[in-house]
């Protein structure tokens, strides 16, 4: 490549980068204006700009302030985000009790990720009293909205009879939904269920198929089981 060609490409990159920065800066100004006027969605977006350092210096404290203003207006995405901030301790001390409180606000508005989060917290007794029935309830709501992690957990709860009566057919049904979305644990479990005929007619061929998918997704147990079945 000639030097002048390299210089031309370099100028294009600089121009593109300048354009992106200008667009981000313009977007920040408009978003901030709306946020200061009380727009809950704009406050949420502005919070993420400060959280990720988009067009502004990263500032977790300022980000939290904007999320909080939005959440207090009932904006479910901000309520969920505050829950995650407290759960993970991003810029604030970790507090699973406050996390559960905000997840609950968001989940009751139908926010699927908050429903999933509550399902996990209730299963662990983290920030709330351990309650498998409540865990199942919230995972079910999230699973019905297509959240693969909750679909897998519902499947495992049916499989083991935790929080709900044991039901292998329903366990397979929900594990298959999660597996079809590529959930790694579900791919491996589908191989096992077909191999042992749990909730579905036994099929070594289909067991190999799902163990193979599990192996392709980096699961060592899936690889081992796939090789074992190929040796039979």
Domain enclosing residue 31, as ranges? 22-73
| CATH at 209 | 1.25.40.10
Quote the number of domains for the chain: 3
| 132 — pLDDT class (breaks 50, 70, 90) | very high
> Taking the alpha carbons of 226, 227, 230, 232 in that order, is the dihedral positive or negative?
negative
| Rounded Cα gap, residues 156 and 20, in angstroms | 46
* CA nearest neighbour of 190 among 148, 162, 232, 147: 148
> Is residue 9 predicted with pLDDT exceeding 90?
no
| 228 — pLDDT class (breaks 50, 70, 90) | confident
- First CA to last CA distance, the chain: 57
Over range 109-116, report the average pLDDT: 97
pLDDT of residue 17: 41
pLDDT digits (tens, 9 = 90+) for 39-72: 999 999 999 889 888 888 899 999 999 999 999 9
Domain-ending residue, one of 83, 111, 145: 145
Q: Are residues 78 and 45 in the same domain?
A: no
34 within some domain? yes
Q: Are residues 200 and 230 in the same domain?
A: yes
Give, to the nearest 10 degrees, the angle between helix 204-216 and helix 184-196. 160
């Amino acid at each position: 490549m000639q030097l002048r060609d390299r210089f031309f490409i370099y100028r294009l990159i600089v121009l593109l980068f300048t354009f992106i920065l200008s667009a981000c800066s313009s977007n920040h100004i408009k978003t901030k204006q709306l946020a200061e006027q009380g727009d809950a969605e704009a406050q949420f977006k502005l919070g993420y700009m400060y959280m990720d350092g988009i067009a502004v210096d990263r500032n977790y404290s300022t980000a939290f302030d904007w999320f909080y203003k939005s959440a207090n207006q009932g904006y479910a995405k901000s309520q969920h985000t505050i829950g995650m901030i407290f759960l993970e301790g991003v810029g604030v001390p970790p507090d699973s009790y406050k996390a559960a409180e905000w997840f609950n606000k968001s989940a009751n508005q139908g926010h699927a990720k908050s429903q999933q989060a509550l399902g996990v917290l209730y299963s662990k007794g983290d920030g709330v009293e351990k309650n498998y029935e409540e865990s199942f309830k919230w995972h079910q709501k999230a699973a019905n909205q297509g959240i693969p992690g909750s679909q897998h957990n519902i499947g495992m709860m049916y499989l083991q009879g935790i929080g709900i009566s044991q039901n292998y057919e329903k366990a397979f049904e929900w594990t298959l939904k999660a597996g079809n979305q590529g959930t790694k644990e579900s791919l491996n479990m589908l191989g096992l269920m077909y191999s042992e005929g749990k909730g579905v007619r036994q099929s070594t061929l289909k067991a190999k198929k799902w163990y193979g998918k599990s192996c392709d997704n980096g699961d060592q147990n899936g690889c081992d089981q796939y090789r074992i079945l190929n040796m039979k």
